[in-house]
Amino acid sequence: MINGTTRERGGAMQTQDNYWKRKTTFYKFGLLVTFVGLFLSPDAQALMTGNCADCHTMHNSQDGQPMNFDSSAIPNDNLTRGSCLGCHAQAGSSAIEIIGTSRLPQVYHTGGTDLAAGNFAYITGFKGGGASDRKGHNIGPLTGTDAVLYAPPGGIGQAFHDNGYIVNTDNLTCAGTNGCHGYRFAGDASKEGIRGAHHKNLDGKMDIADEPANSYRFLFGVMGYENVDWEENASASVHNEYLALTAPVALGCSGGSVLSCHSATNGIEPPDGTMSQYCASCHGNFHTLETSTSDGIGAVAASPFIRHPTDLALPSSGEYAAYTNYDVGSPIGRTTGVPDASSAVVTPGSDAVMCLSCHVSHASDYPSMLRWDYSTMIADGGVGGTGCFVCHTTKD
């Protein structure tokens, strides 16, 4: 099945061209916001603040010239002065830029610290140890499409989810149909995109998740606790919190005893609001309990598994019992609901392994967008404390 997800295709030249064009426009915008930023001291804030003209242009024209940050004459949806990438991927040197009086989180930059989801700049080599499509989710207009992976590996074995007919590297985008943020596609009647989320954005405990604005990071249906600076200054006690289950459930499109990722009216969402189910909406076979069409992690949520489990509570005995201090390098999810605040305490028996225990969600400097260098995880190598060893404490 994995073979069906790969393809023979180049595209490197095109990627480089796009990248250099983009880089120069980003530098211009970067200078602009850095200049504005000198006069401000941003406080923690959740909503959009400031003058409309900081972010919007009514006609994309002033003195006959475009008002878009990148000087493009093509106007953007919702009259913003940039696209998602124009605002969030400026290729500057900071993880957070300033726009008017608002803080603008960056997903493509050379700053020393990456925000929680990582940094798409590792894919192009703009930051880190060299370009590689394996380092993250390729977003075509930003990084070029993935030259090897076409479909998401581990797509659920149902209704063309495992061969790229639905989502693939050519159409994977930031938000909306085939995107990750905002409402995602479920048919012509369903809501699309992110419109309205920014001005209604809530912060902190996100346990309602019935629209993008009150979902974790505008990921419709996902619940969690949002760290106020997107983990720019994360520590064991100050960090995002993720929702998880004590045991994974059977997921699918519909039918039988599976829980569906298709909501009645609002498109795709994780049925229980967990981060791992969210990833499973595209990589379902790496997460689900066995169904009639997908073998998943196995038939029951107990060892032996056939794939590494997620949304599964750490056993309170054995090697797992020693993971008691939260490690932002191998985080866990909470199974007792979304907490009111982040905590440095890990409770085996309750807290669970999830996709983001090992992966970041945008890109990292390591293959398979892992949080750490897998090639340094040596059994009986005498060096523990990171990566797999945070949970598998006796294998070092």
Find the binding residues for ligand HEC in span 113-132 (CB under 6 A): none
Site for ligand HEC in 354-393 (CB under 6 A): 355, 357-359, 361, 368-370, 374, 377, 387-388, 390-392
Q: How far is the CB of 234 from ligand HEC (least distance, A)?
A: 14
Q: Cβ closer to ligand HEC: 21 or 200? A: 200
Give 209 or 391: the residue with its C-beta nearer to ligand HEC.
Answer: 391
- Candidates 7, 32, 50, 322: give the one binding ligand HEC (CB under 6 A): 50
Q: Is the dihedral angle over the CA atoms 5, 7, 13, 18 positive or is it negative?
A: negative
Give 308-375 as a DSSP string.
---SEEPPSSGGGGG--B--TTS--EESS---SS--SB--TTTSEE-HHHHB-SSB-SSGGGBSS-GG
Identify each DSSP E strand in 215-307 by its residue range.
224-226, 241-243, 251-252, 259-260
Distances (CA, A) of 300 to 251, 287, 296: 13, 12, 10
CB 279, CB 117: distance < 8 Å: no
Site for ligand HEC in 180-219 (CB under 6 A): 180-181, 194-199, 201, 217-218
304 binds ligand HEC (CB under 6 A): yes
240 lies in the binding site for ligand HEC (CB under 6 A): no
Contact region with ligand HEC (CB under 6 A), list: 11-19, 24-32, 46-54, 335-343: 46-54
Q: Contact at 8 Å (CB) between 81 and 68?
A: yes
Q: From 21-29, 59-67, 304-312, 337-345, give the range in contact with ligand HEC by CB under 6 A.
A: 304-312
Residue whose pair of structure tokens reads 């598994």 in the numeric block = 305
Map the footprint of ligand HEC across residues 309-338, applying CB under 6 A. 309-310, 312, 314-315, 320, 330, 332
By beta-carbon proximity to ligand HEC, the closer residue of 4 and 112 is: 4
Footprint of ligand HEC on 142-171 (CB under 6 A): 146, 149, 152-154, 167-169
Q: State which of positions 4-33 bind ligand HEC (CB under 6 A).
A: none
Measured from the CB atom, the residue of 137 and 334 that comes closer to ligand HEC is 137
Stretch that binds ligand HEC, among 26-34, 175-183, 234-242, 335-343 (CB under 6 A): 175-183
Nearer to ligand HEC, 59 or 199 (CB): 199
How many angstroms separate the CA atoms of 237 and 326, rounded? 7
Give the distance, in angstroms, between the CA of residue 310 and the centroid of all CA atoms in the same chain.
Answer: 16
Q: Which residue from 8, 10, 74, 303 is in contact with ligand HEC, where contact means CB under 6 A?
A: 303
Scanning 23-31, 58-66, 108-116, 302-310 for contacts with ligand HEC by CB under 6 A, the matching segment is: 302-310
Contacts of 254 (CB under 8 A, 6+ apart): 260, 262
Q: Residue 74 has what DSSP assignment?
A: S
Least CB distance to ligand HEC at residue 83 (A): 6
268 contacts 185 by C-beta, under 8 angstroms: yes
Closest CB to ligand HEC among residues 237, 378: 378
The minimum distance between CB 185 and ligand HEC, in angstroms, equals: 10
What is the C-alpha to C-alpha distance for residues 176 and 161, in angstroms, rounded to an integer? 17
State the sign of the Cα–Cα–Cα–Cα dihedral 76, 79, 84, 89: positive
End-to-end Cα spacing for the chain: 33
Segment near ligand HEC (CB under 6 A), from 27-35, 108-116, 236-244, 301-309? Answer: 301-309
Q: Is the dihedral of CA 283, 287, 288, 292 positive or negative?
A: positive
The Cα-based distances of 106 to 84, 95, 196, 229, 358 in angstroms read 10, 5, 20, 11, 22
CB 204 within 8 A of CB 263: no
Residues between 248 and 277 that touch ligand HEC (CB under 6 A): 276
Hey, what's the torsion of the CAs at 58, 266, 163, 140, to 10 degrees? 20
Q: How far is the CB of 68 from ligand HEC (least distance, A)?
A: 10
- Residues that bind ligand HEC (rule: CB under 6 A) add up to a total of 86
CB of 268 to ligand HEC, least distance (A): 8
Query: 66-105 mask for ligand HEC (x: CB under 6 A)?
Result: ------------x-xxx-x--xx----------xx-xxxx
